[in-house]
């Protein structure tokens, strides 16, 4: 995956792709990383052994191989700048189909 989105990607898929790319970045930087997201549906998909979503399965694989990276839930619209910024990028990418 290279962060490239298609115009038909949903916000759900876009946010999963953002998480995947953040994990790839943390791996390349060899960092301990806590990623905070406000999408409960994404977190449930990533944690479900029954998920059929290819990106969610990819995230599961990466997280199992890199225990120094975690994904956590944060309340939406709480003013956390990083979370608000990532929401803006995901929405823009959904509309424009742009790479990040």
Q: Domain range for residue 9?
A: 3-96
pLDDT bucket at 13, cuts 50 / 70 / 90: confident
- How high is the pLDDT of residue 89? 72
Q: Measured between alpha carbons, how far is 80 from 41 in angstroms, rounded to an integer?
A: 19
How many domains, the chain? 1
Task: Identify which of 91, 37, 29 has the alpha carbon closest to the alpha carbon of residue 66.
Answer: 29
pTM exceeds 0.75: no
Model pLDDT for residues 31-80, shown as the tens digit of each residue: 898 888 888 888 888 889 999 889 899 999 999 999 999 998 888 767 77
């Amino acid at each position: 995956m290279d962060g490239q989105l298609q115009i038909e990607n949903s916000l759900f898929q876009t946010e999963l792709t953002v998480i995947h790319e953040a994990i790839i970045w943390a791996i390349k930087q060899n960092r301990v990383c806590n990623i905070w997201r406000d999408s409960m549906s994404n977190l449930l998909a990533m944690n479900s052994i029954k998920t059929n979503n290819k990106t969610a399965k990819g995230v599961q694989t990466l997280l199992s191989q890199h225990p120094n990276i975690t994904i956590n839930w944060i309340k939406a619209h709480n003013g956390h700048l990083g979370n608000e910024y990532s929401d803006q990028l995901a929405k823009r990418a959904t509309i424009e189909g742009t790479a990040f």
